[in-house]
Amino acid sequence: MNSSENRQKELLTKRAESIKSMFGSIAGVYDFLNALLSLNFDKSWRKYAAKVSGIKPDAKVLDVCTGTGDQAISYSKLLNGNGLVVGSDYCHDMLKYGLPKIKKRRLDNKIKLVEADTLRLPFRDNSFEISTVAFGIRNVADLEEGIKEMIRVIGPNGKVVILEFSQPTNFLFKKIYFFYFTRILPMIGRLISKSEVDAYSYLPQSVLAFPDRLNLKKKMELCGLEDVMFFTRTLGIVTIHIGKKPANP
C-alpha cells in the first residue's frame, strides 16, 4: 500500500471513529428525536421500505447501520418463525439501547444484533436474501465499499434496499423544508440531545452532500446491482432505492 492509500485509509478511519462517537453521544435520545424531528413519519417510511422490498416470510435479512433496531423491527413484522433479521452496527451504545426495545416487543427470536462495521461485515458471501439500510449508508466512511459489502453478503437475485433522506423536487416545498431542515431541526436537536457533538447540524450537512436519487441509482449500478428502482415518499423528503444482485454475478 503506497503513502497516498495509507493517508486515505487514515482519513476514513478517523471519520468512522468520529461518527461512531457522535452517535454514541445521542443514543439515549435517538429514538425520541427521530420521531419528533420527522413528525413521526419515520415509522411509515421504514414500514414502506420493508413492504416494497419484496420480502418473503422466511427470508434472512441483514440490516446494516441498524442503530437502535427500528428498521430491523419493521422487517421482522413481515417474517414468520423461520425468518430472521440480523441488525449490525459499529456503535455499541446504539445497540445497547436497541436490545431492550427488541426484547420488550418479544422479537428477540426474530432479531439478532451484532456489533460490526459495514465496511467489514463478519458474514459469509451469499448469507442473506436482503441487505438493507435506513438513514445509515450516508454515514459510512466509503459509500461504494459499503454498498459492495451489502451486495457481497446477499445471494444471487438478492436485493439491496437503501432508505435515505433526499432533496424534495417541488420548488416551494423545497424552500420550506430546507429552512426547517437546516435551521429549526439542528436547534431542536441541540436543545434536547445536549450533546457536546453537534449531531443535528451534521445531519443536514451530510444529506446535502449525499448523492441525489439519480446519482445514488448510478452508484448502485456501478457497484454491480441491476434493475435499480426508487420510490419517493412525503414529497421527496426520503427515497427508497432497491437493486438486485445479478443471478450470475
Nearest in space to 20 (alpha carbons), one of 89, 91, 87: 91
Judge: domain 3-244, CATH 3.40.50.150.
yes
Say how far apart CA 138 and CA 41 lie, in whole Å. 19
What tens digit of pLDDT does each residue of 95-128 get? 999 999 999 999 999 999 999 999 999 999 999 9
Residue 173 has pLDDT above 90, yes or no: yes
What tens digit of pLDDT does each residue of 40-96 get? 999 999 999 999 999 999 999 999 999 999 999 999 999 998 999 999 999 999 999
Residue showing cell 457533538: 197
Say how far apart CA 5 and CA 151 lie, in whole Å. 24
Q: Which residues contact residue 31 at a Cβ distance below 8 angstroms, ignoring those fewer than 6 apart?
A: 68, 70, 97, 101
Radius of gyration of the chain (CA): 17
pLDDT tier for residue 37 given thresholds of 50, 70 and 90: confident
pLDDT tier for residue 20 given thresholds of 50, 70 and 90: confident
Beta partners for residue 84, in sequence order: 60
- DSSP H or E stretch at residue 145: helix 143-152
**What is the layout of strands, in order, in the sheet containing 84-89?**
111-115, 84-89, 60-64, 128-134, 154-165, 238-244, 226-233
Say how far apart CA 23 and CA 76 lie, in whole Å. 24
Provide, rounded to the nearest whole percent, the portion of the chain with pLDDT above 90. 77
Domain regions of the chain by residue span: 3-244
Say how far apart CA 226 and CA 237 lie, in whole Å. 24
Nearest in space to 245 (alpha carbons), one of 150, 173, 118, 119: 150
Say how far apart CA 42 and CA 19 lie, in whole Å. 21
Instruction: Evaluate whether 10 touches 77 at the Cβ level (below 8 Å).
Output: no
Residue 246 has pLDDT above 70, yes or no: yes
pLDDT of amino acid 11: 43
- The CA dihedral of 11, 13, 14, 18, to the nearest 10 degrees, is 140
Phi, psi torsion values for 86, nearest 5 degrees = -105, 120
Residue 4 has pLDDT above 90, yes or no: no
Instruction: Evaluate whether 232 touches 239 at the Cβ level (below 8 Å).
Output: yes
C-alpha cell at 118: 459495514
Instruction: Evaluate whether 57 touches 78 at the Cβ level (below 8 Å).
Output: yes
Q: Which amino acid is located at 68 in the chain?
A: T
Averaged pLDDT, 134-141: 94
SS3 13: helix
SS3 35: helix
